Every structure is written in structure tokens, then in C-alpha cells.
Amino acid sequence: MRYAHEVGKVRAAEQALMARLPEGALMQRAAAGLASTCARLLPRVYGARVVLLVGGGDNGGDALYAGARLARRGAVVEAVLAGSKVHGPGLEALRSAGGRVLDGSGQNAERAVETADLVIDGLTGIGGTGALREPHASLARCTEYAEGVVVACDVPSGVDAGSGRVDGVAVRADVTVTFGTYKPGLLIDPGAAHCGVVELVDIGLGADLPDPDVVAPWAEDLRVPRPAPESDKYRRGVVGIVAGGERYTGAAMLCVGGAVRGGAGMVRFASSPHPVELVRQRWPEAVATVIEPAPDAPAKVGRVQAWVVGPGLGTDRKAETLVEAVLRTDLPVLVDADGLTVLARRRDLLRRDAPTVLTPHAGELARLLGPGTTRELIEARRLEHVRRAAAELSATVLLKGSTTLVAEEDRPVRVNPTGTSWLATAGTGDVLSGLAGALLAAGMPAIDAATAAAYLHGLAARLAAAGPPGPDGPDLGRQAPISALDVVTALPEAFRTLG
């Protein structure tokens, strides 16, 4: 797992550690790690042109000390000061090592940034919030035209380290070197999109850090159920799916496909006659049943271990009856798409003891949270709103988007690292619902099922977009458009990557 901590907790851990260390030792550790990473990014250090963008905080000091280390190895280092406030000892160290100082205004600074082999962004630190002011904003904008590698110190300037929020201009780094622990804003869009590759430098904070606020899993952190020698289809998990209608039949087929390829021992599908017939033709493995909207509809489907309800179901009174009937059961339930629209007007249905997983995009979550909450507000503050939703709705909430987040009350928020913009196509959410439902039916706790489903779903999209693997595996750098059905087809390969 990658563990991320909120800014206040990082500050407290730093203070506790600094109290036990000689003065300045912690900054020297950070500067050493930053300089080492920068040296690796340069073809050679001797003669390389390095420009430091230096603000008045500790990150400016980190950049100055790192620049001094590079200068002592023969790099030509110039510091652009963003204002009169500067870290004095760091500036003295840079000058003693042969570094030069440029005024933060004027074309000389812009030209230096644009033509450098490497630029270190030390304008602001993890305490920076809101839009960058001048001259910081202009200097950050210069990095857009930098010919060399842009390295952010701890967090790209203009990115809120605690949330990933970006107000106005922000540095878009190729590499971000962060210290001690990850910060949530490095993992969550829009901030994550500005970070490039994130390198973590250990400066000794571990013992002083509390439990993390956000975690991002690696493949080895996921434990999906595997069939044992004594397994049968019932032990592997039977998922019931209530989806589709006369208008939206594709949602039903994609949801069932996600469950079939997601490892379900059996899929029981229930809907109106037309989608039932289509599912029978496309997925003969599924047991399909025609049902009428009624309180006892789930009982007529047969024994299941978890339910998925909502994709393509419609939002009329008949759909509401089916959503209510499923949520009245004592089994885990995943609600998606039209089912979420029903819940937006019937939040009382969420008062239940069994696990409930909700899988909204930002617009659906805005409706669930009610007046005063908009899609735009949620997109800007994804972490804040997914936490709020988990608490208010008493559910496991999987917020879909460029960074998919999974939240339960009083637990670290899970961040999915495999998301891809190729998933921005109709029907992929239905695939995710079926996949997550299969994992729920297999007995996984709700937050683990949602986390694993998001990971596998994103990875399957990447594999599908990359096409058939060559001798060195899939070429994820050369991708092509995909459909939701392509994601279904790639799910077995995604599962194989988990070992």
C-alpha cells in the first residue's frame, strides 16, 4: 500500500522528529533525497543546467540545499527567487557551492526556466492552499514551456496537498519527490495529474506518523477469492442482478458480463422479458428469470449471496419497487445507475443492517447528497465529498471518475491507481457493477470488493486498449479506443496479473 497522511499530521510528525535531531538535519535529509533523484534524471550532472524556483518556505530551503549539492558535483545551478523572503542558510549554501541567483521577475528568469536541463519547483510546500499569487503564478506557468525535466519538491506548486484541489495555474511536474509519506493530493485528481511519477524519500517520519488517511493499493495488496479444490458454484458465490428494461437492454448484458468474467460461481439475472431473452442469448451461463415489480420479487429469483440493482432499470415507480425490494433483503447489495436516482428520492431505503455499496459518478453523488451540492463541487473536492457520502448514507461509496475513490466511515479512503480515460465510454460502469457484485457474492467485505473491482476494472481497460500482448507484454504506451465489452473480455487477463 501507499500510505498518505493529511498535512496537519505530517507537520506534527515532523515537529516530533525535529525535536530529537540536530537543527537542520531533517531538511538536509530531504535535500539529499531530492538531489539524488535529480542526479538520476540527468544524463550527467557535470555541466547540466539546473534552475531552482525558490519560495520563502521550507520547500524553498530544500530546493536550495539540493541545488548546492548538485553544484558541488559540477552542475550549473541558478536560483530564481520568488520574492524577498528566502531560506537564508540554504541560499548561503548554494552561493558557497558556486550557484547563482536570478531575480524572480523579467525575461531572464523565464528564459532560464525554459532552457534548463532540469527545473526544481520549490515555490510552495504542503501548506500552500488556494490559487498561486504573483510572482509564483507566473513562474509556475513558465514550467509549461520548460525543455528539461520538471521536478516538484514535495508537492507541485498550486496543488493542494491535502485534497488534490487545483485553483488556477499549477506546476505540471514530470517527477514529484515527496518526503516522509505520501500526501492525499498526490494521489487524487486533479492534483495527481500534475505530479508525474511520485518518488517517496524516507526521512525518518515513520514512527511519528499515525494511521493513514488515504491508501492506494498495489497489485500484491489485493486478495481476491480463488477457487479451492472443494469449491462448487455455490461456494464461489451466486450474485443476483436486477437490471435493464425494455429501453436499456445493453446495461443488463454488460453488467451480467462483468459478473460472469468477474469470477461469480453463478449469475442469476432478473428483469422484464426482452432483456432476459437477450441475456440468455449472450450469456448462456446466467440463469435468467422474468419478474414483475413486487415486494417479493427477489424471492422468486432463487438463492443468491449478494445483489446488484439499478443499471438500465429506469427510474419510474416499477423500478422503485424493485430497488426497494432488493434493499429490503438482508444480503449485501450494490446499487448503481438508475438505482442511485431512485435512492436520491428514497434515502430511507438505505437504513439497513447488511452491507450496501453505492457506485455513483459525481453527478449521481450530487443528487444523493441533495441541494447545495453540485457535480462541479464534488469534482473539485472529491476526497471531502466521498467521506461525507459514506458518513451520511451509511454505505460503502465508490466514487467513479478520473481518480476512483472508495470510502467507508472511519476508515482510510482507498484510491484506485489503475484508472484510465479510456473508461470514459458508455457501459463501462455497468461492467464495474457486475464485477463488484461478483466479489461481494464471493464473501469479500464491501470495501475490499469495491477496491478490488475498481483496480481490476481499470487494469482491464488498460489491457484492452493496449491490444494483444507482444513478446514483452502489452504496450500500454500505444493504446486505442475500446468499448465496454472490450473491458469485459479483458477481465480474465487482469485477474491473472494478481498472481
Say whether pTM exceeds 0.85.
Answer: yes
312 is in an annotated binding site: yes
Kindly report, residue by residue over 269-282, the tens digit of the pLDDT.
999 999 999 999 99
129 annotated ligand-binding residue: yes
Q: Is 401 annotated as a binding residue?
A: yes
Q: Cα torsion at 87, 206, 5, 432 (round to 10°)? A: 140
Among 107-121, 406-420, 422-436, name the one with the lowest average pLDDT.
Answer: 107-121
Domain with CATH 3.40.1190.20 in the chain: 220-496
Give residue-wise pLDDT tens across range 200-256. Answer: 999 999 999 999 999 999 999 999 988 888 888 888 999 999 999 888 899 999 999
Is 3.40.50.2300 the CATH classification of the domain at 220-496?
no
DSSP string, 191-253: GGGGT-EEEEE--S-GGG--S-SEEE--GGG-------TT--HHHH-EEEEE---SS-HHHHH
Delimiting residues of CATH 3.40.50.10260 domain(s) in the chain: 2-216
127 is in an annotated binding site: yes
Q: Give the per-residue pLDDT at 277.
A: 96
The whole-number pLDDT of residue 65 equals 98
The number of angstroms, rounded, from the C-alpha of 269 to the middle of its chain's C-alpha atoms is 31
The model's pLDDT over 53-72, given as tens digits with 9 standing for 90+, comes to 999 999 999 999 999 999 99
- 126 assigned to a ligand binding site: yes
Between the two ends of the chain, the Cα-to-Cα distance in Å is 17
- Cβ atoms of 344 and 368 closer than 8 Å: yes
Query: Residue 106: pLDDT above 70?
Result: no
Rounded-to-integer distance, Cα 369 and Cα 364, Å: 9
CA pair distance 10, 4, nearest whole angstrom? 9
* Pairing mode of beta strands 238-242, 405-407: unpaired
pLDDT above 70 (res 474)? no
Q: Provide the pLDDT for residue 477.
A: 67
The reply, when asked if residue 60 is annotated as ligand binding, is yes
Indicate the pairing of strand 413-415 with strand 405-407.
antiparallel
Q: Is 163 annotated as a binding residue?
A: no
Region of residue 498 (left: phi > 0; alpha: psi -120 to 50; beta: else): alpha
Q: For residue 263, say whether it is annotated as part of any ligand binding site.
A: no
Quick: pLDDT tens for 366-377: 999 999 999 999
Report whether 154 belongs to an annotated binding site: yes
pLDDT tier, 28 (very low <50, low <70, confident <90, very high otherwise): very high
Mode of pairing for the β-strands spanning 197-201 and 214-216:
unpaired
- Residue 12, marked binder: no
Helix 25-41 vs helix 7-18: angle between axes, to the nearest 10 degrees? Answer: 120
CATH of 2-216, one of 3.40.50.10260, 3.10.450.710, 3.40.718.10, 3.40.640.10: 3.40.50.10260
Q: Which residues contact 314 (CB under 8 A, 6 or more apart)?
A: 245, 247, 248, 338
Which contiguous run of DSSP H or E holds residue 413? strand 413-415
- Identify the band that residue 475 occupies on the pLDDT scale cut at 50, 70 and 90: low
Sheet with strand 49-54: strands edge to edge? 100-103, 76-81, 49-54, 118-122, 149-153, 175-179, 197-201
The answer to whether the annotation marks 336 as part of a ligand binding site is no
Check the annotation: does 338 bind a ligand.
Answer: no
Known binding residue 128? Answer is yes
Q: Are strands 76-81 and 100-103 parallel, antiparallel or unpaired?
A: parallel
121 is in an annotated binding site: yes
Residue 130, marked binder? yes
